Amino acid sequence: MKTTQARLSLNQNASAFPYENSRLKSAIQLAILGLGLAAGASHGTAYAEAPAKNAIELKEVEVVGKAESDTKPVKGYNAKSSRSATKTDTDLKDTPQSVTVVTQDVMKDQSIQSISEAVRYVPGVTASQGEGNRDALNFRGAGVTTGDFYLDGVRDDIQTYRDLYNTDRIEVLRGSNAMIFGRGGSGGVINRVSKEAGWDPVRELSLTYGAYDQKRATIDVGNGINDVAAFRLNTVYEDANSYRDGVNLERYGITPTLTIKPTDSTKIVLSAEYFMDKRIGDRGMPSIGTGLKNRAYDIGDHSTFFGSARLSPNETETKAFNALIEHAFDNGLTVRNRTRYADYDKFYQNVYARGAVKADGTVDLGAYHEGTDRQNLINQTDLTYNLKAGGFEHRLLAGMELGRQDTKNFRLSPNGSNDNLPGATGNVNAEDPAFTGTLNLNNLRIHRKSEANITAFYLQDQIILSPKWEMVLGVRHDKFELDYTDLPTTADPTRNVKLSVTDNKVSPRAGLIYKPMENLSLYASYSQSFVPRAGDQLTGLSASTTSLSPEKFTNHEIGAKFDVNPDLALTAAIYKLVRENIAAASDIPGQTILVDGQETKGLELGISGKLTDKWSIFGGYAYQHGEITKDQNISGSQYTSGTDLGQTPKHTFSLWNRYDFNEVWGAAIGMVSRSDMYALTPTTTTSTLLPGYTRFDAAVYGKFSKNLRLQVNLENLTNKEYALSAHNNNNIVPGAPLTGRATLIYNF
The domain segmentation of the chain, as residue ranges, is 3-66, 265-747
3-state SS of 376-401? EEEEEEEEEEEEEECCEEEEEEEEEE
Range ranked top by mean pLDDT from 473-477, 676-680, 687-691:
473-477
- Residue 76, pLDDT above cutoff 90: yes
Taking residues 379-387, what's their average pLDDT?
Answer: 97
User: What average pLDDT does this structure show over 345-366?
Assistant: 93
- 3-class DSSP state of 521: strand
348 touches 281 (CB < 8 A): yes
Residue 133, pLDDT > 60, answer yes
The pLDDT of 676-687, averaged and rounded, is 86
What would the pLDDT profile of 161-192 be if each residue is shown by its tens digit? 999 999 999 999 999 889 999 988 889 999 99
Tell me, what's the pLDDT at 32? 37
Most confident of 354-358, 412-416, 423-427, 647-651: 647-651
pLDDT digits (tens, 9 = 90+) for 299-343: 667 899 999 999 999 999 999 999 999 999 999 999 999 999 999
Structure confidence at residue 543 (pLDDT): 53
Mean per-residue pLDDT of the chain:
88
How far apart, in whole angstroms, are the C-alpha atoms of residue 454 and residue 477? 10
293 pLDDT band (50/70/90 cuts)?
low
> CA–CA separation, 213 vs 240, rounded Å?
6
- Kindly state the percentage of the chain with pLDDT values over 70: 87
Strands 632-634, 677-678: parallel, antiparallel or unpaired by DSSP? unpaired
How far apart are the C-alpha atoms of 273 and 263, rounded to whole Å? Answer: 27
Whether the pLDDT of residue 697 is over 90: the answer is yes
**Distance, CA of 181 to CA of 460 (rounded, Å):** 13
Q: Would you place residue 540 in the very low, low, confident or very high pLDDT band (cuts 50, 70, 90)?
A: low
Structural contact between residues 512 and 524, judged by C-beta atoms closer than 8 angstroms: yes
Q: How far apart are CA 287 and CA 266, in angstroms?
A: 58
pLDDT of residue 395: 97
**Which of the residue ranges 492-501, 546-555, 738-747 has the most confident prediction, judged by mean pLDDT?**
738-747
Which segments within 281-391 are labelled E, that is strand?
Answer: 287-288, 295-296, 313-328, 333-353, 362-389
pLDDT digits (tens, 9 = 90+) for 579-618: 888 765 544 444 455 566 899 999 999 999 999 999 999 9
Confidence category of residue 701, pLDDT binned at 50, 70, 90: very high
Count Cβ neighbours within 10 Å for each residue of 478-496 and write b for 16 or more, e otherwise: bebebebbbbebeeeeeee
C-beta atoms surrounding 178 within 10 Å:
27
Q: Which pLDDT does position 50 carry in this prediction?
A: 42
pLDDT of amino acid 501: 87
Q: Quick one: average pLDDT of 362-369? A: 94
Is the domain covering 265-747 a CATH 2.40.170.20 domain?
yes
Output the CA–CA distances (angstroms, integers) from residue 526 to 97, 183, 253, 529, 628, in the order listed: 9, 17, 40, 11, 22
Across 680-686, average pLDDT = 82
Q: Place 33 in a pLDDT band, splitting at 50, 70 and 90.
A: very low
Predicted pLDDT of residue 62: 55
Residue 299 near residue 311 (C-beta atoms within 8 A): no
Question: Which residues are 690's β-sheet partners?
Answer: 677
- State the pLDDT at residue 636: 67
Residue 12 has pLDDT above 50, yes or no: no
| pLDDT given at position 532 | 84
Q: What pLDDT, in 10s, does the model give residues 231-251?
A: 999 999 999 999 999 999 999
Residues 400 and 380: beta-carbon distance below 8 Å: yes
By DSSP bridging, strand 188-194 and strand 149-151 are parallel
412-439 pLDDT per residue, tens: 999 888 899 988 788 999 989 999 989 9
Instruction: State residue 592's pLDDT score.
Output: 53
pLDDT at 10: 32
pLDDT bracket for residue 3 (50, 70, 90): very low
In this prediction, residue 55 carries a pLDDT of 53
Which is more confidently placed, 658 or 497?
A: 658
Residue range 55-59: average pLDDT?
56
Query: Which stretch, 196-200, 359-363, 502-506, has highest mean pLDDT?
Result: 196-200
The secondary structure of 60-114, three-state, reads CEEEEEECCCCCCCCCCCCCCEECCCCCCCEEHHHCCCCEEEECHHHHHHHCCCC
pLDDT confidence of residue 31: 38
pTM for this entry: 0.88
pLDDT band at residue 683 under the 50/70/90 scheme: confident
As beta bridge partners, residue 393 has 388, 464
Task: Decide if pLDDT at 65 tops 60.
Answer: no
Element (H, E) at 178: helix 178-181
DSSP string, 267-296: EEEEEEEEEEEEEE----B-EE-SSTTBEE
- Rounded to an integer, what distance in angstroms lies between the CA atom of residue 726 and that of residue 357? 16
Q: What is the mean pLDDT of residues 340-357?
A: 95
Amino acid 57: pLDDT: 59
